[in-house]
Amino acid sequence: DAGVIQSPRHEVTEMGQEVTLRCKPISGHDYLFWYRQTMMRGLELLIYFNNNVPIDDSGMPEDRFSAKMPNASFSTLKIQPSEPRDSAVYFCASSLGRKFSTDTQYFGPGTRLTVL
């Protein structure tokens, strides 16, 4: 298996622009997670899905952030409009989820976002 795939790996954009990050989870995994990692705040869970349905989006910082999972093999995280404080590494992870919290999360390589 190719593991969790994220694209792009690096994104540089200007303030005010729309940014879309993409994730393909491991086939057969029921859970998908979006995280953000910064030096100041560490690793933060933004949102997670179970069987394509958002379960908890309490970590999404504000309305500028949105996430979708139209099918089991694809998810997007969108920021519109982007701001410099959104600069971070965004990780996608997936897990089997059949035993809820005992399952290992498999992380993608991350997308490094820089907003100028």
Residue ranges binding another protein (CB under 8 A): 4, 31, 42-43, 45, 48, 50, 55-56, 91, 93, 95, 97, 99-110
Minimum distance, C-beta of residue 28 to another protein, in the bound complex (Å): 15
- Alpha-carbon gap, residue 92 to 80, rounded angstroms: 19
53-56 and 111-115 beta bridge pairing: unpaired
DSSP 81: S
Minimum distance, C-beta of residue 113 to another protein, in the bound complex (Å): 14
For another protein, give the closer residue by CB, 10 or 85: 10
- Alpha-carbon gap, residue 34 to 58, rounded angstroms: 12
For another protein, give the closer residue by CB, 6 or 82: 6
Give the C-alpha distances (Å, rounded to integers) separating 85 from 4, 81, 98.
26, 12, 36
For another protein, give the closer residue by CB, 58 or 71: 58
Minimum distance, C-beta of residue 81 to another protein, in the bound complex (Å): 27
